Amino acid sequence: MSSLPVPSHIHYELLLQLLERQTLPALHGEMKQPHLAAKLNVSRENLQAAIINLRKAFALQKQVEDTCEYHGIKVSYRWSLTESEQEMGRSLKDISSPPQNLE
């Protein structure tokens, strides 16, 4: 194995920010409606559990990465399921390359 494919850290961060900054506040706003408060309380608890589990998953992935690094195994951060290591290298090269002069 040339490197261990793992999700890019930004995936966790994006999900956590979306849930914490948008989903929870929106749900809290809906809970102000008396006829929905009791029903949505369960949803809020489930949402908070999802946030906790995402944080745990991210911490566990970091532990795997640290262990791999310690044993000399490279880690390859992936942005999608279809992305190969070669495609990732190419896309990073394209991003870091200065634009070519089109004269």
Q: Note whether residue 72 is domain-resident.
A: yes
Alpha helices in 71-96 (DSSP H): 85-96
Domain membership of residue 30 as a residue range:
4-81
What digits encode the pLDDT tens for the residues 69-83? 999 999 999 988 887
Q: Note whether residue 103 is domain-resident.
A: no
Give this prediction's pTM.
Answer: 0.69
CB–CB of 13/77 below 8 Å?
no
Q: Note whether residue 23 is domain-resident.
A: yes
3-state SS, residue 78: strand
pLDDT at position 103: 47
What digits encode the pLDDT tens for the residues 39-49? 788 888 999 99
pLDDT at position 55: 97
Q: Is the pLDDT of residue 20 over 50?
A: yes
Q: How far apart are CA 85 and CA 6, in angstroms?
A: 11
CB–CB of 79/90 below 8 Å?
no
Q: Is the pLDDT of residue 10 over 50?
A: yes
Per the model's pLDDT, the better-predicted residue between 1 and 69 turns out to be 69
Count of the separate structural domains present in the chain:
1
Phi-psi region of 72 (alpha: psi -120 to 50; beta: other; left: phi over 0): left
